[in-house]
Structure 1
Amino acid sequence: MKNLVKISGIVVALLVLFTACEKDETNNPTVDGVYEGTLNGSQTKSTAEVAESIPATTEITITGENGIRVHCYTENFDTTFMMNYYMDNDSAHVCYTGDDFEEMYGHMLGEGHSGGMMDDMHDGETEWMHHMSEEHNEGDEHFGGFDMTNHSFSYTFQMDMNDPSDDLHFQGIKQ
């Protein structure tokens, strides 16, 4: 009988421990997850040349500090690429990384930084504010991000950098 009481006590203690350690998404939202929504743009026009919204899914996977893999797909569209994300109060904005960053903005990501990308942040500065002040010139364009309050993700895919009329726009809600 003593062993049964001890085992019951241990089980109850473990349940309390696991419940206490469970992550609460409402207090600590994350960007990773599956977003269901639509993809639209000039390439989604029907045969009658009417723009349509096509059901689409985007899977976001965290790959490291500020890094994500974005996989967006529909019946006729499937792309996967890497990006960085930067928290900004109730939002998180995305920006290119690696060669894509250099091609878009004309310099390597992290030039002039020593240590980690966010090591020299100032008081009251968000990750996004720091990224913008350290890495970008006024007018540099970005193409999407997360609304943490509404649990949504939006992104504009540049199908042809020289022709914005070919852009595809994803808008989705986290499932």
Structure 2
Amino acid sequence: MKKIRLISVTIAMSLFVFTGCDRPELPYDNKIEGIYVGTITSPNGQSKEERKITEDAMAEITKIGNLMIEVHLFNSELDTTLILNYYDDMNFVRVCFTGDDFETAYGHRLSEDHISRGMMGHIQNNETEWMHHLNDEHQGDGDEEHFGEFDIQDHSFRYRFDRMVDGITTKLEFQGTKL
């Protein structure tokens, strides 16, 4: 009987050790995935006084890799998909371009350590993932713009982007709340 109990304890401890080595779900991983219902707003002219055009829209957020999401924005006029990295920043999860889109936007590539997401092992001085990303990956005095975020407390997602139609670029902003 003692032998069976010892084997059971050994198996239980082995399972505990093996499952403890996996990367646990981060608290916001499951909170950002899902469908967000809201609007896409675009300016109707150059001045602030001119009316804005607002249309109903949806965003479907799907986790596709380690700290990487696919954002599918769509409505009756628009259907676009973005691949973005995401970073914890207290009550927010902020997003940034990845791969070639990062290089096109900022003029330099992500470092190799950060592409593999090994960067989180050397966060220091109580940095959030977002602060660490900004400090390690963005150059200059913080003038490299970012375009979106999730607000964990109010379950919302906001993202600004450009749309090219007939050679004309229009700035758009999606603002939605999770279903």
User: TM-score, normalising length from structure 1?
Assistant: 0.74
Q: Quick one: which amino acid aligns to residue 54 of structure 1?
A: E
Shift of the 52–128 alpha-carbon distance from structure 1 to 2, 3 Å rule, reads: same
Matching residue of 1:129: 131
Out of 30-39 and 108-117, give the one that drifted further: 108-117
Query: Residue 50 of structure 1: CA displacement?
Result: 4.0
Question: Distance in 2 between the 1:34 and 1:113 partners?
Answer: 28
For the 8 Å contact 1:110–1:117, the answer to whether it is kept is: no
1:39 is matched with which residue?
Answer: 40
Decide which of 147, 157, 161 is 2:161's aligned counterpart.
Answer: 157
**TM-score normalised over the length of structure 2:** 0.72
**Which amino acid letter does the alignment assign opposite residue 135 of structure 1?**
E
Structure 2 vs 1, CA of residues 125 and 67 (structure 1 numbering), >3 Å: closer, same or farther? Answer: same
Query: Distance between the aligned counterparts of 1:173 and 1:123, measured in 2?
Result: 33
Number of the residue aligned with 2:24: none
- Structure richer in strand, relative to its length: 2
Distance, in Å, in 2 between the alignment partners of 1:82 and 1:31 is: 14
Secondary structure of residue in 1 paired with 2:86:
strand
Identify unmatched segments of 5+ residues in structure 2: 1-26
Partners of 2:100 and 2:151 lie apart in 1 by: 27
Do the aligned partners of 2:120 and 2:129 also contact (CA within 8 Å) in 1? yes
Where in structure 1 do 4 or more consecutive aligned residues deviate above 3 Å? 111-115
Q: How does 1:75-154 map to 2 (within 5 A)?
A: 75-111=76-112, 116-137=118-139, 138-154=142-158
| Contact 1:98/1:109 (8 A) holds in 2 | yes
Measured against aligned partners, the alpha-carbon deviations of 1:2-28 in whole angstroms (never above 9, x if no partner) come to xxxxxxxxxxxxxxxxxxxxxxxxx75
Residue ranges of structure 1 left out of the alignment (5+ in a row): 1-26
CA RMSD of aligned residues (A): 2.6
How many positions carry a matched residue from both structures? 143
Structure 1 contact 43–166 (Cα < 8 Å) conserved: no
Identity, % of aligned positions:
44
Quote the residue 1:54 is aligned against: 55
TM-superposition CA deviations, 1:36-79 (whole Å, max 9, x none): 000010369xxxx8422100000000011110000000001000
Q: Does the Cα contact within 8 Å between 1:156 and 1:168 map onto a contact in 2? A: yes
